[in-house]
Structure 1
Amino acid sequence: MTILRPDIRRDDPYPAAATALLLVDMQRIWLEPGRNPGHPDWDAGHPFHRDVAARAIPNQARLLAAARAGGVEVIHTIIRSLTRDGRDRSLDHKMTPLHVGPDDPLALPVPELAVGADEILLPKTSSGVFNSTNIDYVLRNLGITHLVVAGIMTDQCVDMAVRDAADRGFVVTCVGDACAAATAERHSHALGAFGGYCWVADTDTVEARFRAMRAP
């Protein structure tokens, strides 16, 4: 992994070939109204689904297109068990209970954010992607120093990705207007709480940075 200079800032320009975009849990089961078994009453009119449809998904689609155009590495993470009965899940997911089987098509990202050719998809069985996947190993093998994070839920899995990445020595950006939580209050409070671990940027800014980059 590249050794970063001691005076680096979180909002410094992204280095070519050392920057990755991480999209967190943008799955059909959570984002298509009526699919979430934990919230079957969340229809298309629920604030979460309205927010996701109007803001988070379109903004992430912009980031995804710009990342691909700029040669930025793209990683998708999803909640999905390795076994059909979910016996490999974390204790927390078993107690919740939370289980998305390996053959369930609802485990995959929504069509607008579908995994592209040769992009990385990491299934996880915990809130923190660094806890139940080999993402740290993968990022270091790729030579990544800067990680840009967007996804759901801002106050849960996004929060953990940001904090854990920062603790492991990555320079982290969270694209605030490309994330969503169950309520607007939880979303804004989370950004305020973990903002000390990252640069909280917006889609316009990050999209422009990605499009200005070129693959080596």
Structure 2
Amino acid sequence: MKSALLCIDLQYLDAARGCGVFADSGYSAFGKEGQEYYFARLEKQVLPNVQKLQALFRDKGLEVIHIRVMSQTDDGRDRSYWHRKLDLHCPPGSRESEFIESVAPKSGDLVINKTASGPFGNSNIHSLLSRLGIAQLYCCGVFTDVAVESTIRAAADFGYCPMLIEDATASASDMVQAECVNRLGGRYCEVVRTAELLEDLEQHIRSVRKETGYW
């Protein structure tokens, strides 16, 4: 199976202090304690792990795909019902639509824009993955229980083999994170951690090279 790394919603909308949904310090979905937990996990663990994963995937010629919330229109009339209801609006060129610099796309990476929680059903991701012959999706990003979960559930229903990289995702608390991982693992995806994934990919690629002479 061809593999791709999906980097989900690592943008100023929901992955930067004081920006996007966190512009209001009293953001009700997290609260002050939840925000401190979330950004500590994001900055100390998730973003460094995503950097390592992106570097390996690029080095080995595997696809790195960035998924973000961004409308096609300035007024956001193409947004999904729930994004309009929640007043989530990332027009083209907005700060909220920009990627976090440390994990931003590089030359050769692919970018998919979406207008709902997950990209299936409101973007060209399925046709793109089909054209590329990709069947295995390694998922990282935020929030674990929202966009990441939506992506994994839909991917499984579309016949892909999703993999949740647990320590490269983040949500509002350890409890929310654990509940989401338990809810998805073994039903919609396999759950892995960054270190074991990096080692497994290196070993697999060495094996392929030895057997086929490829790469």
- 1:198 paired with 2:189, answer yes
CA distance in 2, matches of 1:113, 1:26: 8
Change (3 A) 1:165 1:85: same
Q: Secondary structure at the match of 2:167?
A: helix
Report the CA distance shift for 1:116/1:209 in structure 2 as closer, same or farther (over 3 A).
farther
Quote how far apart the aligned CAs of 1:150 are. 0.7
Structure 1 residues 129 and 59, CA gap change in structure 2 (3 angstroms) = same
2:83 counterpart of 1:99? no
Q: Does 1:150 align with 2:134?
A: no
State the 1:38 CA deviation.
5.2
- Offset of 1:39 from its aligned partner? 5.2
Query: Which of 4, 10, 19 matches 1:35?
Result: 19
Aligned to 2:155: 165
One-letter code aligned to 2:16: E
Question: TM-score, structure 2 length as denominator?
Answer: 0.87
1:24 counterpart letter in structure 2:
I
The equivalent of 2:112 in structure 1 is 122
Distance 1:207 1:40 in 2: 37
Q: Give the conservation status (yes or no) of the 8 Å contact 2:20–2:96.
A: no
The answer to whether structure 1 residue 209 and structure 2 residue 200 are counterparts is yes
Equivalent position SS for 1:28 = coil
CA distance in structure 2 between the aligned counterparts of 1:65 and 1:54, rounded to whole angstroms:
18
The alignment yields a C-alpha RMSD, in angstroms, of 1.9
> How far is 1:131 from its partner?
2.1
Structure 1 residue runs of 5 or longer lacking an equivalent are: 1-14
Structure 2 residue ranges without an equivalent (≥5): 27-31
Which among 132, 136, 146 is matched to residue 126 of structure 2? 136
SS across alignment from 1:109: coil
Work out the number of aligned pairs and report it. Answer: 200
Identity %: 30
Q: Structure 1 stretch 29-38 or stretch 200-209: which is displaced more? A: 29-38
